[in-house]
Amino acid sequence: MTIATLESVPVPILADLRQRHSEPQRHYHDWSHIEALLTHMADARGLLHDPDAVLHAILFHDAIYDPRAKDNERRSAALLVETAPAIPAASLSAARRMIEATEGHHLPGDLSGAAQSDCAHFLDMDLAILGASPERFVIYEDQIRREYAHVPDAAFREGRAAVLRGFAARPRLYFSAWGRERFEAQARRNLARSLAALAN
C-alpha cells in the first residue's frame, strides 16, 4: 500500500485540483475545505483500512462544483476515474463509491466491513463542519449563502431550511463512533440555532 499523503499524489494532479478549487463560485468548497478534511484524516488515520481510497475521495469529492448543477458528485467521481491516479484498482473503486455517497450523505447499503467503515469515516469528515464551533458555523453558513447568491433570499431560506431539517431529523448525524464523539452534540446545537434563524 502506498503512503497516503499529498506528497504521494503526482504534482500535475494536485495542480489541477488546486486550480479547480480556486474557481470564483467557491466560498466554502475551496481548497481550505480539502485541508480541513486532510486534518480530520490525520486524526482518524489509525481507524482507516484504505488510506489511499480516503485520501483520493477527499481530494476529488468536490473537484467539480457548480451550485446550479445537480450532478456534481457523480461528475467528480467520474473525474477521479478518468484521472486514474496510480493507486490500486480496489482503492480507486472505493474512492469513487465514497464520492458518490456524498450525494445525500447516506452510507451505501451494499458496503460492508472495511469499505463501509472507511466510507463512514469519510462522510463524517465531510460533515464535520456541522459540528464546528458556533463562530465557525456562522462563517460556514455565510459561505454557503455566497455560493448560492444566484438564488433569491426567500427561496434560499426555504431550501436551506429543508436541507438542515433533513439532517436534524436523522437519529444520528454521524456514521462512525469517531464522528459522533467529536461532532454530534455541537452539530445538533448548530442546526437548531440555524433553523431558528431561518424561521424568523
Provide the pLDDT confidence category of residue 6 given band limits of 50, 70 and 90. confident
Its pTM stands at 0.95
Q: What is the pLDDT of residue 111?
A: 86
Long-range CB contacts (within 8 A, 24+) of 87-90: 87/2, 87/52, 87/53, 87/56, 88/1, 88/52, 90/50, 90/53
pLDDT at 200 over 70: yes
pLDDT at 13 over 90: yes
Question: Tens digit of pLDDT for each residue in 96-116?
Answer: 999 999 999 999 989 889 999
For every residue of 27-80, DSSP letters joined together read: SSSSHHHHHHHHHHHHHHGGG-S-HHHHHHHHHHTTSS--TT-S-HHHHHHHHH
Question: Tens digit of pLDDT for each residue in 136-155?
Answer: 999 999 999 999 999 999 99
Q: What is the mean pLDDT of residues 125-136?
A: 98
pLDDT at 1 over 50: no
Cβ count within 10 A of residue 82: 7
